[in-house]
Amino acid sequence: MANTVNLSRWRFCHLFTEFMGTSPERFLTQVRLEKAKHLLETEFLTVKEVMNQVGMSDPSFFARSFRAAYGTTPGRYRDMHKVEALKAMKRPIEPHRADRI
């Protein structure tokens, strides 16, 4: 990112932290975790697939970071929201009528 704005890495980190209140690394991790949370809520993906889609490669770091941010593991979070998603998807099924055949 520093090269993109033609700054040294140190200067970029200093300015970023000054304006955003957090380091670029922590900010990026936060953005990735928010994206992972959204994917776990809305998509039927494995935790590993979500982790890869958000650009994280270390499962331990991903799980620790997710738990620190949201108070539960990614797998439990997905399972909680999968049940809610399935409930929302359930629609009353029209009974089969023999007279339609």
Tell me what pLDDT residue 94 has.
Answer: 57
| Whole-angstrom distance, CA of residue 74 vs CA of residue 97 | 43
3 to 49, 74, 93: CA distances (angstroms): 30, 33, 57
Of 5-19, 37-51, 53-67, the range with the highest mean pLDDT is 53-67
pLDDT digits (tens, 9 = 90+) for 47-79: 999 999 999 999 999 999 999 999 999 999 998
Q: Mean pLDDT lowest for which of 39-43, 46-50, 95-99?
A: 95-99
Query: How many CB atoms neighbour CB 44 within 10 A?
Result: 11
Q: What average pLDDT does range 31-42 have in this prediction?
A: 94
Residue ranges of domains in the chain, CATH in brackets: 26-90 (1.10.10.60)
* Averaged confidence pLDDT in the chain: 87
